[in-house]
Structure 1
Amino acid sequence: MTVMILGAAGQIARMATESLLRQTDADLILYARKATTRLKGTAQERVRLVNGDFQDVEALIKHLQGVDVVYITAAGDTDAKQRIAAAIQAAGVKKVIDTSILGIYDEVPGNFGKWNTRMVGASRIRQVAEATRVFENEAFDYTILRLTWLYNQAGNTAYMLTQKGKPFVGAQVTRQAVAQLIVDIVTAPDDRFVKKSLGVSEPNTDWDKPSFY
């Protein structure tokens, strides 16, 4: 199996890279601006570093050849996602893991929902919702990850999932848990994650705001 990570220099992408190398035998293509400089510590037999950006559709098509799964980190960039989607379709890849945020379906109830909208901004939420629709369609075997507020805690990989159409529950989740979820999606033996938009949070964090605010 070959997994391509677009935007591979980000925090979650780096953690997912480490987890995939440790827990699977997948080959990885790490695509990012100045990847050979920023990610040189990850270079090994199963890793290929690619310098590039999301504007270069031809480069994306070239490096997507033979890829089984693409993980995308450009949450609110509709233009970038449209270019990536065109490249993915041209390369014949179907399985996509796309990042988004909570609130894009107005699915966050109560005080936490009000706090989240105030902190993120309604216009930003609408922007991310538009970008998410690029992959949330029948052309892809997509998994959308609607991430709640993120923090780091080594060893904490606990996550819970809420389905589209259900109220979002959970004010925070670790980046380590999101990285583990990406591994779980890549290695799933069935279609449990396919064509799903999943709210991602930490169990027992149904609060009015994250603990670090």
Structure 2
Amino acid sequence: MSTKVLVLGAGGAIAQHVIGFLQENKDIDLTLFARDTQQLAFLGSMSKIISGDVLNREELTNAINGQDIVYANLAGDVDKMAKVISETMTQQGVKRLLFVTCLGVYDEVAGKFGEWNNRMIGSELERYGKATRIIEKSGLDYTVVRPSWLTDKDETDYETTQKGEPFIGTEVARKAVGAYIADVILHPEKDVKASVGVNKPGVYGDKPAFY
């Protein structure tokens, strides 16, 4: 029996890589949820596509109903979205959630890189931090994903850190984050009730090289 996976924010760049890794896997049944579904048209009939707003409870409930895994890769009012998603999943009896936030939500980025990161992300960090705490208190089988500063490089190298460990890697490719997320979807027992930093191995410093 195939695993039913709902992708919230399916039009996003990381999500597109995740979809690319999973769409031909016969054991995965993808449902793609996005405000603007035009950019998903190239997928043809390979996946179910839903146009909707995460903050619309009715649309979200209809999408979550019957799924096995929810993967959320969202921007904007992520704290409000985290609340609605976790409440709706609990109501629908869906337990497994992957939710992307960002580095720095625990003040886990050390030294000069941490100071630079906090300055650059600014008030967004508070919102992502709130979303992270909502997910962690939700009672769901969550994995919070905290990527480093993102590049569009065509590479899949990544290393991970767990909550409580310092985050030192200054960058990571969106494709590599997608590879990590796809791996967790294929092995849903991995990193349950964990908050995982994802970065490129060996690239450390005071800020990303592209700044």
Range of TM-score over shorter length = over 0.9
Question: Contact conserved, 2:86 with 2:140, CA < 8 A, in 1?
Answer: no
Equivalent residue number for residue 210 of structure 2: 212
Which residue number in structure 2 is paired with residue 198 of structure 1?
Answer: 196
1:127 CA displacement: 1.8
Q: CA deviation at 1:23?
A: 4.9
- Take 2:190 and 2:41, find their aligned partners in 1: how far apart are those partners? 34
Which residue is 1:41 aligned to?
Answer: 42
Amino acid at match of 1:33: R
SS in 2 for 1:135: helix
Correspondence list, 1:1-16, <5 A: 1-16=3-18
State which drifts further: 168-177 or 62-71.
62-71
Gap regions ≥5 residues in structure 1: none
Change in 2 beyond 3 A, CA 1:30/1:162: same
- The one-letter code of the counterpart of 1:64 is I
Once the two structures are TM-superposed, the CA of residue 137 in structure 1 deviates from its matched residue by 2.4
* CA positional deviation for 1:149: 0.1
Match of 1:165 in 2: 164
How big is the shift at 1:132?
Answer: 1.3
Aligned length: 208
Q: Tell me the SS of whatever aligns to 1:44.
A: coil
How far apart are the structure 2 equivalents of 1:134 and 1:73? 15
Moved more, 177-186 or 136-145: 136-145
Displacement, 1:9? 0.5
* Partner of residue 175, structure 1: 174
Contact residue 142 and residue 195 of structure 1 kept, 8 A: yes
Unaligned runs of 5+ in 2: none
**Aligned amino acid, residue 144 of structure 1:** V
- TM-score scaled to structure 2, two decimals? 0.93
Matched, 1:186 2:188: no
Letter of the structure 1 residue corresponding to residue 182 of structure 2: V
CA distance 1:150–1:140, change in 2 (3 Å):
same
Alignment of structure 1 residues 1-213 onto 2, 5 Å: 1-23=3-25, 25-35=27-37, 37-45=38-46, 47-74=47-74, 77-121=78-122, 123-137=123-137, 139-154=139-154, 156-188=155-187, 191-213=189-211
Q: For the aligned residues, what is the CA RMSD? A: 1.5
SS at match of 1:49: strand
Cα shift readout 1:32-77 (whole Å, capped 9, x = no counterpart): 1132x221111224x0000100121122112212211111112552
* Equivalent position amino acid for 1:87 in 2: T
- CA shift at 1:151, angstroms? 0.5
Aligned residue identity for 1:202: K
Q: CA deviation at 1:124?
A: 2.2
Quote the sequence identity (%).
38
Structure-2 separation of matches of 1:81 and 1:167? 25
Contact 1:149 1:172 in 2 (8 A): yes
Quick one: distance in 2 between partners of 1:116 and 1:55? Answer: 28
Deviations 1:142-187 (A, max 9, x none): 0001111000112x10110011111112000000001100111011
**What amino acid is the match of 1:181?**
Y
